[in-house]
């Protein structure tokens, strides 16, 4: 015989359609977002890893001061490598003040991935890199103009050796706005002016190391560089293990996985408790029915199954819809978060069983377990207690006394508050978590604006040149400096620290460096919580040699992790010649140094690459945080305030009988929740700031560089106002619910 209780399941869902619909939408969205991210992340990571073989990506590249003849190439290839020409010409696009690096089509090494359109066949056609084209509003069929030539864009491409668009390997940040890549026909390339021609060569090992990024690869690269330097004059050498253009994207993809999983589980726990509270409210409303069923012989486990069934059904359909969204619309949206940053090759969506477990099975188990524990505890009461609607385990002998001098309406509100403290505490917890998400989304743009403003304000010099080889200049205000790169120690995650040797009485560095001591940048001090007098240990990038330094001061330089030291002490410390230097600081552009001898020149545009690129890369992600925060806020406030109203339905009905009007009843129930919500929002602003700073610091410790978490007060004002507006919408819905409570409700359950 079929269980007659099963007929009630769908009736219950229909009766609480509003509640279950809100939970269904939110759960579907959460599972869809996280599932979409994990699927996109795994699919892109797999495509990236496979691209090395598919497109025959180089083991490294080097640049010569002039083209090597066949004899020289033959001599180089005796070092167990195969060498390929990969010459390029850099042309300026005056329309948007950017640089485009133009190559011939690669057919043997570093092959090209065509996203759409076709590869150039005619000499007036060009294939443009996807990110540069998108960020500068170019598409197939458009024309792009350089100083010497106009091309028609025939296709949109990705270059397998430029997954991150670094113009120079020494750049602080890649740039997909001001730097682009392109492919033209061989004939078109040969007809371009040779002023900015770079004799770049790619190489592949005949016997590559098993781990292309491991110590053996580093040693092999160093050995080849030393052998190469004896045969030719090298102006640049970048083994694959050190190439930011090749490795940066691969290192980054997958880093956000833990953050998204944590985000999901926190939401699931909060929603689980909301579910538990709402189910508890259902038990309270149906106490007489449960008591009758228990007295009629129904077992506790049968009732637990019955009351878990609506939640389980809603969660099941949420999981189905969430996974469908994750594999379709949201997968594309989340993939764009990476595709907006990196010039990745085309990819195929892969089924990710681990993602299914993380986003579906585990959350469902958490939700059902919390519901089960709550139901098992509540339904352990005797049938008699249910029939009497007495669901309290401990009876309070008398109510909490309130001073009779307090106005009746305020006393009424206080009674409502004290009766619903668990619900209001849950509201506070929900507001706190929602505030973190919303602040995280809203703060990002002002944070980047602040960083850019401070970076420009605290530049060491308007122009900073990095040389490939020493070269003199007659530029009036040019000042020599030296730079070196070391790595941090003491953590699993290490990052590069720039060591800069400054001349005594420098025009550009305004702080005096005393003796052997060092001065660190404010960015370095903030990230690693360092102070004057502390000691730090840094190590060589490819060797085990370590250096110890004592901090003598902190310099306001927020744009890079730097150590500043006296130039003479710098050369002495790192065993360089007494007159060694690597570049110039200058107030004006240096024009009397051959451009072939300049590795890079750092200007305002270069230093603001980080903020400019992150604005493009992270924009989609921040909108997700805002949407999720508002959704959580609305869900928790609505469901818990609704429960409070339903719990007090008899009291509200009696108040109506006694002559209280809708406005006065609203003052008691809606205003009480309003006051709690506003106080929660105000308290959460302070706590949220502390939490955001801690979360941001922990998050940035796994990323290279530093962005100070300077959050303007207006950000919190915006979040507070957004919370008030959101609550106003919820309060309007709740007010209508109060108005619908009939007067005869007070006559029910009267003994």
Among 110-114, 200-204, 226-230, whose mean pLDDT is lowest?
226-230
β-sheet bridge partners, residue 747: none
| Torsion angle in degrees (nearest 10) through CA of 476, 477, 478, 484 | 170
Report how far residue 200's alpha carbon sits from residue 324's, in angstroms, rounded to the nearest whole number.
47
What kind and span of H or E run contains 415?
helix 408-419
How high is the pLDDT of residue 118?
94
Other residues' Cβ atoms within 10 Å of the Cβ of residue 179: 22
Contact yes or no for 733/645 (Cβ under 8 A)? no
The confidence band for 84, taking pLDDT boundaries of 50, 70 and 90, is very high
Report how far residue 172's alpha carbon sits from residue 133's, in angstroms, rounded to the nearest whole number.
22
How high is the pLDDT of residue 172?
62
How high is the pLDDT of residue 618?
63
- Top-confidence residue, 565 or 354: 565
Query: Which whole-number Å values give the CA distances from 383 to 8, 292, 378, 482, 727, in the listed order?
Result: 20, 7, 11, 83, 39
* pLDDT over 80 (residue 547): yes
How high is the pLDDT of residue 429?
78
Contact yes or no for 458/558 (Cβ under 8 A)? yes
Cα of 20 vs its chain's centroid, Å = 31
* pLDDT over 80 (residue 68): yes
Report how far residue 119's alpha carbon sits from residue 316's, in angstroms, rounded to the nearest whole number.
47
Report how far residue 415's alpha carbon sits from residue 419's, in angstroms, rounded to the nearest whole number.
6
How high is the pLDDT of residue 223?
87
Residues 6+ apart with CB under 8 A from 516: 550, 569
How high is the pLDDT of residue 608?
67
Q: What does DSSP say about strands 197-205 and 88-93: parallel, antiparallel, or unpaired?
A: antiparallel
How high is the pLDDT of residue 451?
77
How does pLDDT run across 618-637, given as a tens digit for each residue? 656 667 777 777 777 777 77
How does pLDDT run across 137-157, given as a tens digit for each residue? 999 999 998 877 889 999 999
How many residues belong to the chain? 751
* pLDDT over 80 (residue 441): no
- Top-confidence residue, 78 or 399: 78
Coil, helix or strand at residue 44: helix
β-sheet bridge partners, residue 602: 464
* pLDDT over 70 (residue 746): no
| Unique residue bearing structure tokens 């492919």 | 183
380's tokens: 């352990």
Report how far residue 199's alpha carbon sits from residue 232's, in angstroms, rounded to the nearest whole number.
12
437's tokens: 């998400």
Average pLDDT over residues 725-742: 79
Among 32-46, 106-120, 170-184, 526-540, whose mean pLDDT is lowest?
170-184
User: Where are any strands of DSSP class E within 489-590?
Assistant: 496-502, 518-521, 535-539, 546-555, 562-566, 583-586
The confidence band for 203, taking pLDDT boundaries of 50, 70 and 90, is very high
Domain ranges of the chain: 1-54+251-395, 83-200, 408-459+603-751, 463-601
* pLDDT over 50 (residue 1): no
* pLDDT over 50 (residue 444): yes
Most confident of 279-283, 314-318, 534-538, 591-595: 534-538
Most confident of 331-345, 388-402, 442-456: 331-345
562's tokens: 């730097």
Report how far residue 445's alpha carbon sits from residue 625's, in angstroms, rounded to the nearest whole number.
13
117's tokens: 């359109």
Report how far residue 215's alpha carbon sits from residue 388's, in angstroms, rounded to the nearest whole number.
75
β-sheet bridge partners, residue 538: 488, 547
How high is the pLDDT of residue 673?
79
- Top-confidence residue, 111 or 454: 111
691's tokens: 């939490």
How high is the pLDDT of residue 204?
94
* pLDDT over 80 (residue 506): yes
Average pLDDT over residues 716-726: 83
∠ CA 322-327-329, nearest 5°, is 85
How high is the pLDDT of residue 510?
83
């Amino acid at each position: 015989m079929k269980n007659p209780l099963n007929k009630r399941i769908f009736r219950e869902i229909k009766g609480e359609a509003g509640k279950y619909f809100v939970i269904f939408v939110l759960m579907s969205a959460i599972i869809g977002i996280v599932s979409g991210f994990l699927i996109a992340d795994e699919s892109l990571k797999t495509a990236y890893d496979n691209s090395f073989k598919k497109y025959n990506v180089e083991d490294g590249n080097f640049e010569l001061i002039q083209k090597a003849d066949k004899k020289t190439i033959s001599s180089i290839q005796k070092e167990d490598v195969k060498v390929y020409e990969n010459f390029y010409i850099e042309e300026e696009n005056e329309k948007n003040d950017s640089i485009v690096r133009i190559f011939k089509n690669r057919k043997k090494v570093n092959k090209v991935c065509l996203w759409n359109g076709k590869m150039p066949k005619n000499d007036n056609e060009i294939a443009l890199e996807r990110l540069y084209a998108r960020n500068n509003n170019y598409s197939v069929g458009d024309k792009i103009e350089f100083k010497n030539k106009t091309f028609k864009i025939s296709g949109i491409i990705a270059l397998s050796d430029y997954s991150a668009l670094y113009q120079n390997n020494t750049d602080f940040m890649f740039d997909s706005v001001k730097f682009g890549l392109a492919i033209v026909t061989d004939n078109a390339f040969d007809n371009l002016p040779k002023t900015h021609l770079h004799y770049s060569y790619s190489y592949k090992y005949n016997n590559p190391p098993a781990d292309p990024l491991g110590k053996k690869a580093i040693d092999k690269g160093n050995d080849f560089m030393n052998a190469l330097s004896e045969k030719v004059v090298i102006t640049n050498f970048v083994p694959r293990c050190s190439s930011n253009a090749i490795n940066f994207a691969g290192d980054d993809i997958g880093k956000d996985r833990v953050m998204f999983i944590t985000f999901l589980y926190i939401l699931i726990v909060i929603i689980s408790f909301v579910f538990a509270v709402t189910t508890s409210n259902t038990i309270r409303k149906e106490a007489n029915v449960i008591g009758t069923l228990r007295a009629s012989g129904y077992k506790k486990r049968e009732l637990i199954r019955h009351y878990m069934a609506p939640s389980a059904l809603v969660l099941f359909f949420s999981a189905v819809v969430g996974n469908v969204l994750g594999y379709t619309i949201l997968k594309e949206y989340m993939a764009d978060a990476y595709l907006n940053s990196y010039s990745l090759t085309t990819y195929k969506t892969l089924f990710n069983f681990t993602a299914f477990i993380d986003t579906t099975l585990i959350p469902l188990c958490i939700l059902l377990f919390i519901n089960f524990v709550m139901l098992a505890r509540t339904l352990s009461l005797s049938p008699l207690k249910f029939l009497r609607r007495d669901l309290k385990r401990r009876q309070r002998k008398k109510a909490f006394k309130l001073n009779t001098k307090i106005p009746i309406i305020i006393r009424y509100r206080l009674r409502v508050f004290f009766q619903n403290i668990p619900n209001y505490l849950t509201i506070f917890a929900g507001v706190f978590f929602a505030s973190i998400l919303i602040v995280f989304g809203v703060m990002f743009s002002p944070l980047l604006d602040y960083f850019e403003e401070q970076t420009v304000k605290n530049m060491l010099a308007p122009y900073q040149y990095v040389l490939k080889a020493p070269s003199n200049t007659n530029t009036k205000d040019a000042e020599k400096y030296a730079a070196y790169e070391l790595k941090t120690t003491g953590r699993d995650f290490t990052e590069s620290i720039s060591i800069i040797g400054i001349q005594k009485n420098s025009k550009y560095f305004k702080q005096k460096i005393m003796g052997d001591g060092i001065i660190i940048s404010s960015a370095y001090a903030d990230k690693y919580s360092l102070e004057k007098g502390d000691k730090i240990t840094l190590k060589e990038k490819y060797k085990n040699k370590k250096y110890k330094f004592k901090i003598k001061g902190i310099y306001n330089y927020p744009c890079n992790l730097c150590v500043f030291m006296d130039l003479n002490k710098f050369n002495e410390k790192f065993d360089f010649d007494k007159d060694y230097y690597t570049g110039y600081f200058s107030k004006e552009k240096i024009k009397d140094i051959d451009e072939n001898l300049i590795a890079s020149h750092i200007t305002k545009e270069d230093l603001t690459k980080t903020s400019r690129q992150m604005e493009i890369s992270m924009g989609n992600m921040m909108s997700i945080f805002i949407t999720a925060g508002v959704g959580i806020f609305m869900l928790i406030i609505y469901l818990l305030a609704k429960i409070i109203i339903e719990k007090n339905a008899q009291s509200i009905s009696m108040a109506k009988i006694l002559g209280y009007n809708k406005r006065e009843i609203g003052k008691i129930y809606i205003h009480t929740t309003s006051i709690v919500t506003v106080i929660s929002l105000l308290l959460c602003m302070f706590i949220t700031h502390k939490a955001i700073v801690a979360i941001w610091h922990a998050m940035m410790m796994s990323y290279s560089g530093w962005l100070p978490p300077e959050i303007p007060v207006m950000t919190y004002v915006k979040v507070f106002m957004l919370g008030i507006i959101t609550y106003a919408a919820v309060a309007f819905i709740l007010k209508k619910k109060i108005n619908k409570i009939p007067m005869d409700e007070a006559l029910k359950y009267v003994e």
